[in-house]
């Protein structure tokens, strides 16, 4: 096993030490969807720290980041439930195997000759086929900068065939930013892709509320039948990361000049997340706006709060090492690098907690992931870290 050194800093923004108990933060407690309204509501309700869970473990004292690997531009870690092998992708175009906390000496796959890794472009996400261990899927920017989603085949759990590529989707990108990123399978076996609004600023290309483009939303496709894509959701500016858990989808949608947001809604097609009518909980460049029928964010973060500038959507904890966090959603921000969490209950974000004083700052947080046991990892400009308990 060996380690790889970080050589530069990743930018995925899409926008112009251990201590005691975690602190609480102020946030927005709002319902998932709005009724007819002309202005976007703002809430400043302060919530409480996470509820503890009965356990035979020693009491949880704090959380910590445990360094797992130093590697250039890691952007996601994923694994099949129960599997000992996890996969870490790098923005430059490599897939690495992580076994028992160690990266193998050689990448599982290297498609860097097909990937344009520049700014927000690059190899952006990986998803494993839910029932066939021989197949996996990558979302990357091709040499022209356009979005590509392709299927690849494993030769073994630690080696894939670069010649096995089967392209499922190609989408032209009018600008270099807002490429979206995430790939994840729905419970019914369809693949979801998050795509931004085409880039630039101010919804320059008018895609935010345009149902006739695959941009500015979630895209659904089949990997076992006709892969023709359909628009699953609209009104997203740059959904760099989303997460599906227990019939819900959590989306970290990157804002523009002022507000970041986390949206939570029942998993299903046809939802509108409001961009560019609204940015966060506020009307975008208007004194009032109609948000009827749109998903309203459960979390809004103003730029400057903890250094925030670009939300990094996270994951819901379902591991075994920290039962106190069961069902808790953890998230961050690329510029702020904080670690925060909440539970989603009754259409509201409750138990909002800031863990940053405990875990410390380890560089820009660009993504989250889970291993086969459901334990959470973060990728930063400094490498791969596990979220670990101190007891």
Least confident residue range of 33-47, 192-206, 267-281, 369-383? 33-47
* CA–CA separation, 59 and 239 (whole Å): 36
Confidence of residue 316 (pLDDT cuts 50, 70, 90): very high
Rounded to 5 degrees, φ, ψ at 264 are: -130, 130
Residues 255 and 197 sit within 8 Å (Cβ to Cβ): no
Q: Please tell me the predicted confidence (pLDDT) of residue 382.
A: 79
Q: Please tell me the predicted confidence (pLDDT) of residue 53.
A: 52
DSSP conformation class of 359: H
pLDDT at 32 over 50: no
For residue 4, is it within any domain?
Answer: no
pLDDT at 203 over 60: yes
Q: Please tell me the predicted confidence (pLDDT) of residue 7.
A: 39
CATH number of domain containing 350: 2.120.10.30
For residue 1, is it within any domain?
Answer: no
Given the structure tokens 């959507």, which residue do they identify?
313
* DSSP H or E stretch at residue 357: helix 356-359
What percent of the chain lies above the pLDDT cut of 90? 84
* CA–CA separation, 337 and 240 (whole Å): 15
- Number of domains, the chain: 1
Confidence of residue 54 (pLDDT cuts 50, 70, 90): low
Please give the average per-residue pLDDT across 37-62, as a whole number: 58
pLDDT at 51 over 80: no
Q: Please tell me the predicted confidence (pLDDT) of residue 3.
A: 41
Range of the domain at 119: 23-390
Q: What is the pLDDT of residues 245-262, one digit of tens each?
A: 999 999 999 999 999 999
DSSP conformation class of 90: E
What percent of the chain lies above the pLDDT cut of 70? 86
Cis amide leading into 70 (omega within 30): no
Q: What is the pLDDT of residues 207-241, one digit of tens each?
A: 999 999 999 999 999 999 999 999 999 999 999 99
User: CA-based Rg of the chain, rounded to a whole angstrom?
Assistant: 20
Residues 150 and 173 sit within 8 Å (Cβ to Cβ): no
For residue 18, is it within any domain?
Answer: no
Nearest to 41 by CA among 375, 250, 278: 278
DSSP conformation class of 26: B
Q: Please state, rounded to an integer, the average pLDDT across all residues of the chain.
A: 89
pLDDT at 26 over 50: no
For residue 274, is it within any domain?
Answer: yes
Which two three-digit tokens encode residue 328? 């808790």
pLDDT at 135 over 70: yes
pLDDT at 5 over 50: no
pLDDT top residue among 387 and 56: 387
For residue 7, is it within any domain?
Answer: no
For residue 15, is it within any domain?
Answer: no
Confidence of residue 52 (pLDDT cuts 50, 70, 90): low
* CA–CA separation, 263 and 314 (whole Å): 11
pTM: 0.89
For residue 75, is it within any domain?
Answer: yes
DSSP-assigned letters across all residues of 95-147:
EEEEETTEE-SS-SEE-GGG---STT-SEEEEEE-SS-TTEEEEEEE-TTS-E
For residue 212, is it within any domain?
Answer: yes
């Amino acid at each position: 096993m060996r380690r790889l050194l970080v050589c530069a800093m990743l930018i995925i923004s899409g926008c112009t030490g251990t201590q005691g108990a975690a602190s609480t933060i102020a946030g927005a407690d709002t319902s998932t969807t709005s009724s007819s309204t002309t202005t976007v509501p703002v809430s400043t309700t302060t919530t409480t720290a996470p509820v503890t869970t009965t356990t035979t473990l020693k009491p949880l004292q704090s959380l910590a980041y445990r360094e797992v690997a130093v590697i250039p531009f890691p952007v996601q870690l994923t694994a099949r439930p129960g599997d000992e092998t996890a996969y870490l992708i790098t923005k430059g175009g490599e897939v690495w195997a992580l076994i028992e906390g160690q990266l193998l000496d050689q990448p599982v796959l290297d498609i860097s000759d097909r990937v344009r890794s520049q700014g927000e472009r690059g190899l952006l996400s990986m998803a494993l086929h839910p029932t066939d261990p021989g197949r996996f899927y990558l979302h990357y920017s091709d040499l022209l900068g356009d979005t590509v989603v392709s299927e690849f085949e494993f030769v073994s759990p630690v080696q894939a065939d670069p010649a096995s590529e089967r392209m499922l989707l190609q989408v032209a990108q009018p600008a270099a930013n807002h490429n979206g990123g995430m790939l994840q399978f729905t419970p019914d076996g369809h693949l979801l892709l998050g795509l931004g609004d085409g880039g630039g600023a101010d919804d320059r290309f008018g895609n935010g509320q345009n149902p006739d483009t695959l941009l500015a939303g979630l895209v659904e496709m089949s990997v076992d039948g006709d892969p023709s894509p359909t628009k699953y959701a609209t009104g997203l500016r740059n959904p760099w990361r989303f997460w599906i858990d227990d019939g819900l989808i959590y989306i970290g949608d990157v804002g523009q000049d002022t507000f970041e947001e986390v949206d939570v809604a029942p998993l299903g097609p046809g939802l509108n997340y409001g961009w560019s009518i609204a940015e966060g909980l506020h009307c975008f460049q208007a004194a009032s706006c109609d948000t009827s029928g749109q998903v309203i964010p459960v979390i809004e973060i103003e730029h400057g709060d903890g250094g925030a500038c670009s939300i990094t959507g996270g994951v819901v904890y379902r591991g075994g090492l920290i039962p106190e966090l069961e069902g808790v959603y953890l998230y961050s921000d690329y510029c702020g690098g904080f670690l925060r969490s909440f539970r989603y209950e009754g259409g509201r974000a409750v138990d909002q907690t800031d863990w940053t004083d405990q875990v410390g700052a380890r560089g820009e947080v660009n993504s989250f992931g889970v291993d086969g046991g459901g334990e959470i990892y973060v990728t930063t400009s400094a490498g791969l870290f596990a979220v670990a308990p101190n007891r």
